[in-house]
Amino acid sequence: MTPLKKSPHPAELCRVRNDVSQKEPRSAPAGPFACARSELSVLLCQSILNLPPRSQAVMNSHLRLQPNQRRSCARFLRFTLVWLIPLGCFAQQAPAPQQDPVPQQVSMPQDSCAFSAPGRCAIEIARDQTGILTSPFRMHKKDLLWLAPLAAATGAAFAFDHKTLDRVSTDPSQVNAFRQTSNFTGLYVPLATIGTTWMAGTFTHNDHLRETGVLGAEALVDTMLFTSLVKFGTNRVRPKATGPFPESGEFWPDGRHYSGGDSFPSGHTAMAFAFAHVIADEYPGWKIKLAVYSLAAATAAARVGGREHFPSDVLVGGAVGYLIGGYVYNHRSASSRNYVTFSPIVGGKTFGVSLVFSRSHDDGAAESSAP
């Protein structure tokens, strides 16, 4: 009867593999799965060799598995090999994310919204509206940090709405001047900027300019749709250019729909702040931010000066537009897409995993290791 061969100690196998690998240089892995097998072997061998002798003996005794245990272990290792380790190898083979904050290097996805593809734009706007309308269900306690001050400011504005409008001039020339100013800063400037950036980006093949125009237009459409829905639901009566009247400022006067009940919130102000947020995120320099937010604030002041809205209307409109502009940029911009690099760390007596979170540009990278 032939005696059974004693299984070699795992550390001995690894020492042999280690000696061979030192004598013969390894060729680069042919692909993610070959890389996966190589990385997995290196990790296992390095971990065994770095264990103290007593731990190696204990490990050797526990590696004598029953057939069913071997099959379970094989399935687990196969899952790790096929799905987890290739992810790390692929991330290592992929080019490093761009650290140069040059806007022209941003590339828009092929399936993103574009003026030449209105169908995709309609789908994205529908998704935006779904996300915006369902956002209250995803609120967290930390949102109270901005919700509470906004609610307090809105309540104070409501309390002084009529007193503020009483101080606003009813002179027709001044009222018309303010209204024309608000149309210029809150509507014409954003539309002209959107058209100019999109055309310039298209003709010069500048993806960043083109994205600015597309996202600006998407933010305006999203804001217009959302504010129209809120206007219809609140049905607040606008102030009169000639002075106060009984129904002015009321919500659903006499319990019926009022034909002029579209005061809350201010659509011009909301669109101005949505546009400003997109531009400020696309071009985060302080001069650009100062210019676009000053333009939005001027729109809000002009809507009150033109007796088109109450202060509470423009306050809530500005907040709504700012949030929608940020939502569109964070969900649609190419530069807001995160990249994760997964790679093993082997050295000394420890090994671990390195996760590198980065963005395509502007934001650099932050690295964390899980031992």
Over the Cα atoms of the chain, what is R_g?
A: 31
Sequence-ordered strand ranges (E) for the chain:
338-347, 350-359, 365-370
Q: Give φ, ψ of 28 to 5 degrees.
A: -65, 145
Q: Give the rounded distance of the alpha carbon of 291 from its chain centre.
A: 23
Cis preceding-peptide flag for 67 (omega within 30 of 0): no
Q: Are 277 and 223 in contact (CB under 8 A)?
A: no
Q: Are 190 and 272 in contact (CB under 8 A)?
A: yes
Residue 141 is encoded by which pair of tokens? 């306690």
Supply the pLDDT for residue 227.
96
**Mean pLDDT, to the nearest integer, of 197-224?**
94
Class of 124-336 per CATH?
mainly alpha
Q: Cα torsion at 328, 330, 336, 340 (round to 10°)?
A: -130
Supply the pLDDT for residue 249.
85
Nearest CA among 269, 282, 260, 271 for reference residue 335: 282
Q: Are 38 and 29 in contact (CB under 8 A)?
A: yes
Supply the pLDDT for residue 280.
96
Q: What is the mean pLDDT of the chain?
A: 73
Tell me the pLDDT tens digit for each residue of 241-254: 877 777 888 898 87
The conformational region for residue 243 under phi > 0 = left, psi -120 to 50 = alpha, else beta, is left
pLDDT at residue 276 tops 80: yes
Whole-number Å distance between alpha carbons of 243 and 245:
7
Highest mean pLDDT among 69-78, 249-258, 347-356: 249-258
Quickly state the pLDDT bin for 271 (edges 50, 70, 90): very high
Whole-number Å distance between alpha carbons of 18 and 239:
83
Which position has the higher pLDDT, 216 or 332? 216
Q: Which long-range contacts (CB under 8 A, 24 or more apart) does 154-163 make?
A: 154/312, 154/315, 154/316, 157/310, 157/311, 157/312, 157/315, 158/312, 160/311, 161/249, 161/310, 161/311, 161/312, 162/244, 162/248, 162/249, 162/310
Q: Are 123 and 281 in contact (CB under 8 A)?
A: no
Whole-number Å distance between alpha carbons of 239 and 310:
7
Q: Which long-range contacts (CB under 8 A, 24 or more apart) does 16-19 make?
A: 17/41, 17/45, 18/45, 18/49
Supply the pLDDT for residue 43.
44
Nearest CA among 222, 216, 220 for reference residue 200: 216
Q: What is the pTM (predicted TM-score) of this model?
A: 0.62
Nearest CA among 326, 336, 340 for reference residue 109: 336
**Mean pLDDT, to the nearest integer, of 304-324?**
95
- Domain segments of the chain: what residues? 8-55, 124-336, 338-371
pLDDT at residue 310 tops 50: yes
What residues pair up with 345 in beta bridges, in sequence order? 352
350-359 vs 338-347, strand pairing mode: antiparallel
